Structure 1
Amino acid sequence: MKEKGSVVLFEEMMAEGSTGFSGCLSSAQPFIILQGHFVEFNLGLLHSLPPHSPPDLLLTVTPLSLTVPRGALSVPAQPLTGPPCAVIDKLAKRQLIGVSRPHHQKVMALFFGFLLYLGAESPQALGLHPCGEVCDCIIEIRFLNCSNRGFTAVEGNLPPDTEHFDLSWNYLTGLHQGDFRLLWNLRVLFLNDNNISVVTGGAFSSMESLQRLDLSHNRISALSKGFSLGLGSLRELLLAHNKLTSLDGESFLHLDGLLRLDLSSNAIHSIQVRAFARMSALRQLHLRNNQLSYLDDAVFSTLWSLEVLNLRGNRISSTEVGVFTPLKSLAMLDLSHNRLSTIQFKTFLSIRTYSTHILLAHNPWNCDCDLQRVFRKLRSVHRLFLDDYLNLSCGEPPELRGYWLSQVDTELCIAETVTVLIITVTVVITVLAAIVMAERNKRNPTDSKQGTEENNALEGDSED
């Protein structure tokens, strides 16, 4: 069979353990998985990627074009043929697929149904139907693809039953109230890689079913007070690679159910104490590559469910001792690539989770005896794991700059120990000398008295 193109469609993601396929198509065309191909989940559309393809090949199999990282999910090495429903059932039971660890978070559940067509003659054969003048729909999964179509504003005539909407890689500059007023059932919205700089309050107010919102790679410098209106069901919010400079207490007021927040690669230098106050369900907070220099004691005070806190690549030079105390579920803390020179033992001891992995490399540590004592104590705490301790390097003093802390940690307290010993010995000698003199005077009181009388007599003779 000659291969003209291949694409994988799925009906819907279901919870793990689900089997069966309600929308299995009764097609006479054979279902086949090509040898050595890789596929990657991307909300409603999966592309087949040959092993010899470059890592970021842009495939254009149908009017839908996607960039596919290779190795995300592998299918069997042996070709597999059979009726569509039979193969789909095996895939649903995870008998034929393997998920690589770096992409495990993306594969949130079983793929409820796969259907691989070879030799597709038209978009309609793949379930694609025109929506408006330039967009495409996959009716079976309610997917509307308007990616990379040159839009400068949100189209008004959109199918109201759309659940997945891709508006990425366009030229949108702003989002306004009413832009998505008909999309009540929308669950996933891609707005990444546009030129969005303004998001009016209430722009998402009609999206009570939205679960994932991607606004990364735009030009947003501030979030309005009404930014989160209508986003009570949101589980994932991506705001990485924007121009945010601060976070206040009103931008995230309605994100009670949010599980993952990505604010990486902005210019955030300040976070108000109440910025995350309503996010008690949050599990992942990514603040990587910002400009934070100090962490206030109460900035994470309500994040009881937080498991991952990524602060890598900031300018943090100090923290309050109790800043991590409220994080009762913390499993990973990344403070690498900051400006920490010292740390207090109680800062990490206050983390009370069963197991916490801490990353601290690429900080300019001041390698002295106090630091050596702190790390010695931290390494003795069984629930804390300093995963990159062997990669900690000294920034100060100048004579130790560039040395690994693990190479010099046993020597850092030698000079101080010698000094203490000298002082101790000196004090002991002085005390002993004083005791000896006191004992001598105590044992010879008569001699002392006679000596005094003789001196007095001599003084009298001299006066005569």
Structure 2
Amino acid sequence: MAAVTTSKATKEEVTLLLTLTASSPSRDNPTPLPSPPSCSVSTSRPLHVDHRQEVKQEETQEQLQSGTMKELLFLLLLVVMETSSRSNSSWCRQGCDCGGDLKFTICSRAHFTHLPSRIPPTTELLDLSDNNISVIPERSFSKNRKLRVLILQNNNISVVEDGCFSHLEFLQKLDLSWNRISTLTEGFSLGLVFLRELQLAHNRLTSLDSRSFMHLDGLQRLNLTCNSIHTIQVRSFSSMSTLRQLHLQNNQLTALRSGIFSMLRSLEVLNLAGNQISETEMGVFKPLTSMTLLNLADNQLSTAYFKTFLSIHTYSTHILLEGNPWNCDCDLQRVFRKLRSIQRLFLDDYYNLTCKEPPVLKDYRLMDVELCLAETVTVLIITITVVITVLAAMLMGERKRKKKKRESTGHSRESSRTSRTIKTHLTLFPLKYLHPLSLQFSVSDTDGRMTSMFLFSSSF
């Protein structure tokens, strides 16, 4: 009724102003100017009339009339604005500010302990942040079906009843960050078919399952940063085929199992930084056919498997791995060497990766460790094989030479058989896997006298 009374008062005021405007001078109906004094005609000499003075008087009068019109229009505008303000205040609860033709309702820091009951039904943006609201009851926004943005951050919300957002079919952004929400039921997302962005950062969520986001078919951005999530069940995000950004940083995840990211074909950004991830199954990233950024920094990864990242089939994917306790063994070096050779994968922070194991390489950059132990062993095996072949050839040649000499001299004495023993001494100086390798071979007869020695050294 207050709104109707205000509307009537507005019409009366506008009518009054229009009446005043009509009765005031205007350019279309100017007030008649006093006729110039009549000039008596003399039979002897006619009088001269100055028409320029008349024109100047008319222009002055028109300027006065125009100024009066501007003042009246300005007063009319003030009346309309005041009327609109009174109308808004009649709809808004104390502590709220309504504007934009009642499309914006700001109730931030109003010390509310529950949702306000008087919200303009035309509201499209409702800001209830920084209050003390603890419960979102069922059918809370049944009279605000036009809402597009709902901000409830930084309250004390711990209970979100089933169906509380079921009437918000046009809602596109819902901000519930910085609250105390510990669980999400199937009824939480009921009715949010067209929701595009959901903010749940800084809450108390511990696990996610297939019911958590059952009805969020159109969601594009999901922020779950800074919760206590340690378990994500298979197909928890299966209904989000249009999701583009998933933020899970600073939680308590320890492993990534195959199937938890299934159906996320449109996902472009996956942020898993700041967790406790130490294990990733090989097929966990395979469904992410659109991923452009994978952030695994600041976790507990000590090793990596080539096939885990090879399963990412996007055209261009940037991978962040800094801040993990890498074990810089031969396998890890081989994996990173292969990953860097794949053109569609970009290890943006490779030059910042540092080793934690083995102790001799602690705090060394991975890129500075150029030779792994397995490669050293391979080189040694090849080298020993070559040396033994050379020594065998030398021994055979020596035997043939002595045989020919005995045949030429005709001596019939039986030459004592000389047994040859090959002793191989291998010395390896493994200082940070970068020091030279030295191989020493000696050949001696049965009396222990050394007949030949071969020294081979190589540096890598």
Q: Which TM bucket (shorter chain)?
A: 0.5 to 0.7
Please state how far the C-alpha of 1:383 moved relative to its aligned partner: 0.9
Matching residue's letter, 1:166? D
Closer/same/farther in 2, CA of residues 381 and 123 from structure 1, 3 Å limit: farther
1:149 — aligned with what? 110
Closer/same/farther in 2, CA of residues 334 and 187 from structure 1, 3 Å limit: same
Matching residue's letter, 1:416? A
1:405 to 366, 370, 378: 366
Residue by residue over 1:62-96, the C-alpha shift from the partner in whole angstroms, topping out at 9 and shown as x without a partner, is xxxxxxxxxxxxxxxxxxxxxxxxxxxxxxxxxxx
> Which whole-Å CA distance do the structure 2 matches of 1:143 and 1:257 have between them?
24
1:166 partnered with 2:127? yes
> Which whole-Å CA distance do the structure 1 matches of 2:87 and 2:312 have between them?
52
User: Does the Cα contact within 8 Å between 1:129 and 1:139 map onto a contact in 2?
Assistant: no
Residue by residue over 1:363-391, the C-alpha shift from the partner in whole angstroms, topping out at 9 and shown as x without a partner, is 00111121111111111111111111111
Closer/same/farther in 2, CA of residues 141 and 397 from structure 1, 3 Å limit: farther
Q: Which runs of 5+ in 2 are unaligned?
A: 1-80, 404-460
Query: How many aligned residue pairs are there?
Result: 320
Higher helix share: 2
> SS in structure 2 opposite 1:333?
strand
Please state how far the C-alpha of 1:416 moved relative to its aligned partner: 2.8
User: Does the Cα contact within 8 Å between 1:127 and 1:139 map onto a contact in 2?
Assistant: no
1:218 — aligned with what? 179
Closer/same/farther in 2, CA of residues 126 and 385 from structure 1, 3 Å limit: farther
2:251 — aligned with what? 290
User: Does the Cα contact within 8 Å between 2:204 and 2:228 map onto a contact in 1?
Assistant: yes
> Which whole-Å CA distance do the structure 1 matches of 2:396 and 2:228 have between them?
71
Closer/same/farther in 2, CA of residues 278 and 358 from structure 1, 3 Å limit: same
Q: Which runs of 5+ in 1 are unaligned?
A: 1-120, 445-464
Residue by residue over 1:273-306, the C-alpha shift from the partner in whole angstroms, topping out at 9 and shown as x without a partner, is 1210100000000001000010011111100000
Residue correspondence of structure 1 range 47-58 to structure 2 within 5 A: none
> SS in structure 1 opposite 2:189?
coil
1:419 to 377, 395, 402: 377
2:313 — aligned with what? 352
Closer/same/farther in 2, CA of residues 180 and 373 from structure 1, 3 Å limit: same
> Which whole-Å CA distance do the structure 1 matches of 2:163 and 2:207 have between them?
20
2:330 to 344, 349, 369: 369
Residue by residue over 1:41-60, the C-alpha shift from the partner in whole angstroms, topping out at 9 and shown as x without a partner, is xxxxxxxxxxxxxxxxxxxx
Larger radius of gyration: 2
Please state how far the C-alpha of 1:423 moved relative to its aligned partner: 2.8
1:335 partnered with 2:296? yes
Residue correspondence of structure 1 range 33-72 to structure 2 within 5 A: none
> SS in structure 2 opposite 1:406?
helix
User: Does the Cα contact within 8 Å between 2:266 and 2:290 map onto a contact in 1?
Assistant: yes
> SS in structure 2 opposite 1:309?
strand
Residue correspondence of structure 1 range 108-127 to structure 2 within 5 A: none
> SS in structure 2 opposite 1:258?
coil
Please state how far the C-alpha of 1:128 moved relative to its aligned partner: 6.8
> SS in structure 2 opposite 1:226?
helix
Residue correspondence of structure 1 range 23-34 to structure 2 within 5 A: none
> SS in structure 1 opposite 2:186?
coil
User: Does the Cα contact within 8 Å between 2:172 and 2:194 map onto a contact in 1?
Assistant: yes
Matching residue's letter, 2:312? I
> Which whole-Å CA distance do the structure 2 matches of 1:141 and 1:402 have between them?
60
Matching residue's letter, 2:377? T
User: Does the Cα contact within 8 Å between 2:175 and 2:198 map onto a contact in 1?
Assistant: yes
> Which whole-Å CA distance do the structure 2 matches of 1:246 and 1:188 have between them?
27
> Which whole-Å CA distance do the structure 1 matches of 2:306 and 2:293 have between them?
18
1:388 partnered with 2:346? no
Matching residue's letter, 1:159? P
Closer/same/farther in 2, CA of residues 124 and 184 from structure 1, 3 Å limit: closer
> SS in structure 1 opposite 2:174?
strand
Identity of aligned residues (%): 56
1:277 — aligned with what? 238
Please state how far the C-alpha of 1:422 moved relative to its aligned partner: 2.5
> SS in structure 2 opposite 1:237?
strand
TM-score w.r.t. structure 1 length? 0.65
> SS in structure 2 opposite 1:264?
coil
User: How large is the RMSD of aligned CA atoms in angstroms?
Assistant: 2.7
> SS in structure 1 opposite 2:150?
strand
Matching residue's letter, 1:338? N
> SS in structure 1 opposite 2:343?
coil
TM-score w.r.t. structure 2 length? 0.65
Matching residue's letter, 1:422? L
> Which whole-Å CA distance do the structure 2 matches of 1:171 and 1:297 have between them?
40
